[in-house]
Amino acid sequence: MRYDRLNVLMDRIAHEQTEFGYFLSRGGTVLLRQGGVFRTNCVDCLDRTNVVQSLLAKRQLVAVLKLLAVTTGDDQHPHLDALFNTVWADHADMISVQYSGTGALKTDFTRTGKRTRLGLLRDGINSLTR
């Protein structure tokens, strides 16, 4: 996987993600309606799909937190980032175990934003197990 190309992909679909929006209601009143979704297919690329979905979800989370005035959008929140990455990678492992019998590949990238030697080793073991 070419991780350097992820920013190109995210830039390419940024407009659509903004246009899709999200659902928001308060006190039973609908304030915003979501107008679209990204359909992803993971028949042969479960782990690559998860990496891209995590980037989409994180971008959406930042937008919603900014709208709700929880953050300004430019703030750095290392604890929130770490929590999001951990929850997302753990969820990826659960889905992958159900789908393929092993934990997800590339979760070192999902957890830390970079590939590690230990992550490559774990991916190799999981790939052989699959």
SS3 assignment, position 3: helix
> Residues 4-31: pLDDT tens digits?
788 899 999 999 999 999 999 999 999 9
pLDDT score for 66 = 87
Name which residue leads in pLDDT, 45 or 32: 32
**pTM for this model (two decimals):** 0.73
Residue keyed to tokens 């659509």: 16
> Residues 78-119: pLDDT tens digits?
888 889 999 988 888 888 888 888 888 888 888 888 888 888
